[in-house]
Chain A
Amino acid sequence: MSGLFDEVVRRSRLSPMLAPFTVTRLLVRANVDPKAVTPEALRRALPEFEGGLAAYLPAGEVEQAIAALRELTVV
């Protein structure tokens, strides 16, 4: 996996065990290859993350995670 993938995992606010699997699944749902995620692809996947992270996180934490992930889409 790319360094960006690892950073997405780190910023997801999900537990270390759940995060890699959830990030992978949400990227795949957004038609993004987890092994080749780019800032632009992550930007396209953010709506999927907004919905998906809410499965495990309360709304406030989802907002914080999305804000942290959005920073990664700025190149």
Chain B
Amino acid sequence: MDAALQAEIRRALETEDGWLLDLARRAMAESALVTETSDDQLVQLVHALRLILLEALEGRDDTRRLVIETAVPAYVEAGETTANLAGATVRFAVLLAGDLGERVAAEHRLGAVGWVASFYGTYACETFEAVEAAR
């Protein structure tokens, strides 16, 4: 990845003005999930997502592995359907691409959106492999 793009995405992700939590609340508000996600839980999931994204910028996946091993089976056991989880994942990915794209310099916008697409392509595969394994 281009170093300038990487730095720009990092700067946006590390800006803790609540934008990622706001994004998550918007995603959940329109979600079809049958399980209730409390705001406290959403805060914890967003904390994890920020770490996952920052680690992904460095080619690491420590937090991602733990979250997939814990949050995915938690939602599955709570009765969530694969279809609903897929819908929520796509909703998050598209909102993240849009919001992150708006938060980086204009010359890095397409690069940031492409990075989110690439990241979520991998993340979604891993997530749904875990969903299958948990059923």
Binding site for B on A (CB under 8 A): 14-15, 17-18, 20-22, 25, 52, 54-58
Contacts and interface: CB of A to CB of B under 8 A. Distances in A.
Contacts of A55: 47-48, 51, 62-63, 66-67
B40 A25 contact: no
B interface secondary structure, majority: helix
Q: When A and B form their complex, which 4 residue pairs have the shortest distance between CB atoms, in order from nearest?
A: A15-B41, A56-B44, A21-B70, A22-B70
B69 interface: yes
Given A25-B66, A52-B66, A55-B66, A18 B47 contact: no
A25 B38 contact: no
B71 interface: yes
